[in-house]
Amino acid sequence: MTLWLILTPALAAALCAALPAQAARLNILASGVTLILALLLLLLGEPGGTGWLRADALNTPLVLIAAIVGFSTAIFSAQDIAGEGFDTARSRAYHAAFQGFMCAHFLALLADNLGVMWVAIEAGTLACVLMVALHRTPAAIEAAWKFFILCGVGIALALFGLIVLALAAQPVADHAEGQLSYTALRVLAAQADPGLLNLAFVFLLVGFGTKAGLVPLHSWLPDAHAEGPTAIAAVLSGLLLNSAMLAILRGKSIVAANPETISPGVFLVVMGIATLLLAGFSLWRRRDAKRLLGWSSIEHMGIAAIAFGIGGVAGHMAGLLHLWGHSLIKSAAFFAVGRAARIKRAQQMAAIGGLTTSHPALGWGLALAMAALAGLPPFSLFASELLVATAIGGTSPWLLPLFILGLLVAGTALLHAMQRLCFGQPTPQPAPMQAGLATLLPLWGHLLLAAILALALPAPLSRMLLDAARMLA
Amino acid sequence: MGFGDTSYDVAHVLGGAMLLISFVLLYQRRIFSLVNALALQGMVLALAALWQGYVQGAPQLYLTALIAFTAKGVLIPIYLRRLVLQLPPARRAEPASGIGASMIAGFLLVGLSILVVLPATAGARVLAREDLAIALSLVLLGLLMMVTRRTALAQIAGLMTLENGLVLAAIGVAGMPLMIELSTAGLVLVIAVIAGVFVRVLHERFDSLDTSLLDPHRGEGP
């Protein structure tokens, strides 16, 4: 099953490149098949499995979320990419890169070997880089170049961290494969040299932290989200950030398995708080709707980093639930904003206004998604932020004021932006255009799923959430 | 194994040579020479892998050497040369920038990496930890190059030399598993090709490779 999850998008990427006329339909079909596979993986599990791919309680739910976001993004992009007016070559490149990215992302989530995970994250990034530049405007080239260079550096530092990790494991591992296998390293870490593990963790955190958009290496994120096609922004925020966060989490759990190392949680909390506060204040100054959502992704990664840094079963549960909820809601918000920008032919917030009057289904969907991003109930981000606050209160209450300040600043900024985008007088619209089912179905579907995550978490998911948190704690 | 032992000395000489070439990369303004220096560094890297394979009795490192030689010593330099040849001669050099300052910063970074790596790795083998210090220096010098240089090609050369440093670190630990080795080399090739695409786009749109021309288009604009 895990193997097919990776092979299906790989095959689809090849087919999309070969048959550009059918690419949009193939894209939806392949994403639908991977969604079914991911559901089966969640329900049936992968028996045994000691090879390169390993599905466990930590990554299986993330695989399902990725498949859901991938499927709805494929539906959304069928309409959105048609509106871009790309020529055959660019449409072919877009669809092949999209499926290529999905393939790399599933591999990054499922790989047991950290080296393979690294390769997959890097391959996924490279698939996105050229997509960000697809519009060929100077701003798009600038965004893609910054994305390329910063993430190139980040990922190189992460590889250095992995090499140091292998060096630490070398004296205690009995074969070369064990040096980078996540499962083996968790066992071996207790006997490995703590100095090397510390060095490795710092590089892993900075390296993968770049990709996860943690301060101070976050600056690629808003531009890359704003200048590329909306569908790419949805998968960048919804998926790539998750795989980077998973990589940090894996590094942390390996280093924490050795009692003599530095406490990795402190680093995550500090970076998380800095990220949350910077993003919170930056959100107030945004004029571009897609950059606003990009900054909101930075904010939410900060919250997740704080949760993982606080640690314990409660902290890890809160962090994982936050990642799931953020993926669903952020991609939904991107669908809505992307469609609104297409309708108004501008993505400046000043040009988009009064959506609830002109396009009620789209406007109310966007309003709900942004309220959810601001942390309002009844969506799962509310539940997870509450859980993070409880976990912080239990272990380090002095941190609570900073955390709540960050949440309030960011939340009010998002609500303010929501008001400008969704309510008031509708802004002029160059030509009549409907929201369209290809946007509304993914948008409302994601909102519904995010509400279900908060109100009635399905039994297999809640079991896995608890198992994963216990495994990490 | 220590100072005076042939296996140790040769490994050090090769690592030192790579470091020296990094300094050449740091100040070289002409892009052709930059590509040549990069090719030379790739070849020295292949030699270092070969030597480590012999010393550690690890035959898979011979393969690493072969991959490093093919990808970094031959394929990427040929590709970059062809890219440069398509540019008008005026684009084949970079405007003068402060060489002295970046050289001093380079020296400081080498010192920093020794200060970071040696105490942190007290438990590891002597050769591995000193190789790691050299490797980290290469990584940091590559970063410095990416920060200080303005043209797209020089920044990519920085990324490539940074990657050379990573491979040097990896051969100190008897290499990564084969599949990762191969895919990493493949990714580096892809990075070079993507950089080539960017160079063409930049040249077409701005008639220059100077990435500082992109700065006005940063962020949300006016």
Q: Does A157 map to a domain? A: no
pLDDT digits (tens, 9 = 90+) for B8-59: 788 889 999 999 999 999 888 888 889 999 999 999 999 998 988 888 887 8
B144-160 mean pLDDT: 86
User: With 0-12 CB in 10 A as exposed, 13-18 as middle and 19+ as buried, what is A217?
Assistant: buried
Q: What pLDDT is recorded for position A178?
A: 67
Is residue A201 within 8 angstroms of chain B, CB to CB? Answer: no
Q: Say how many domains are in chain B.
A: 1
3-state secondary structure of A73: helix
Q: What pLDDT is recorded for position A338?
A: 93
Is residue A254 within 8 A of residue A165, CB to CB? The reply is yes
Q: Which domain holds residue B179?
A: 6-89+100-213
Residue B171 reports pLDDT greater than 60? yes
Q: Say how many domains are in chain A.
A: 1
Q: Which domain holds residue A346?
A: 263-473
Q: Does A349 map to a domain? A: yes
Q: What pLDDT is recorded for position A47?
A: 63
DSSP label of A432: -
Nearest CA-CA partner of A138 in B202, B151, B222: B202
> Least CB-CB distance to A195: which of B123, B159, B169?
B123
Q: Does B95 map to a domain? A: no
Q: Does B222 map to a domain? A: no
Q: What pLDDT is recorded for position B54?
A: 87
Residues of chain A with pLDDT under 50: none
Element containing residue A193 per DSSP (H, E) = none
Element containing residue A39 per DSSP (H, E) = helix A23-44
Residue B88 reports pLDDT greater than 70? yes
Residue B2 reports pLDDT greater than 60? no
Nearest CA-CA partner of A147 in A155, A159, A135: A155
Q: Does B218 map to a domain? A: no
Q: What pLDDT is recorded for position A49?
A: 56
Is residue A139 within 8 angstroms of chain B, CB to CB? Answer: yes
Q: What pLDDT is recorded for position A362?
A: 93
Phi, psi of A55 (to 5 degrees): -100, 125
Q: Taking CA atoms, what residue in B is nearest to A222? A: B219
Is residue A95 within 8 A of residue A16, CB to CB? The reply is yes
Quick one: tokens of A460?
């297999």
Is residue B121 within 8 angstroms of chain A, CB to CB? Answer: yes
Q: Does B71 map to a domain? A: yes
Phi, psi of B30 (to 5 degrees): -80, 130
Task: Provide the pLDDT confidence category of residue B138 given band limits of 50, 70 and 90.
Answer: very high
Residue B91 reports pLDDT greater than 80? no
Q: Does B94 map to a domain? A: no
Q: Does A112 map to a domain? A: no
Is residue B47 within 8 A of residue B73, CB to CB? The reply is no
Is the Cβ pair B183, A179 closer than 8 Å? no
Maximum separation of any 2 CA atoms in chain A, in Å: 69
User: What percent of chain B shows pLDDT beyond 90?
Assistant: 21
Q: Does A158 map to a domain? A: no
Judge if ipTM > 0.85.
yes
Q: What pLDDT is recorded for position B217?
A: 74
Is residue B170 within 8 angstroms of chain A, CB to CB? Answer: yes
Q: Does B1 map to a domain? A: no
More confident residue, B93 or A128: A128
Quick one: tokens of B177?
């598993």
B191 residue type, one letter: I
Is residue A179 within 8 angstroms of chain B, CB to CB? Answer: yes
Chain A residues touching residue B116 (CB < 8 angstroms): 199
Q: What pLDDT is recorded for position A310?
A: 92
Q: Does A447 map to a domain? A: yes
- Separation between Cα atoms, residue B174 and residue B52, nearest integer Å: 8
> Least CB-CB distance to A160: which of B166, B180, B184?
B166
Task: Provide the pLDDT confidence category of residue B146 given band limits of 50, 70 and 90.
Answer: confident
Q: Does A353 map to a domain? A: yes
Q: Does B220 map to a domain? A: no
Is residue B64 within 8 A of residue B175, CB to CB? The reply is yes
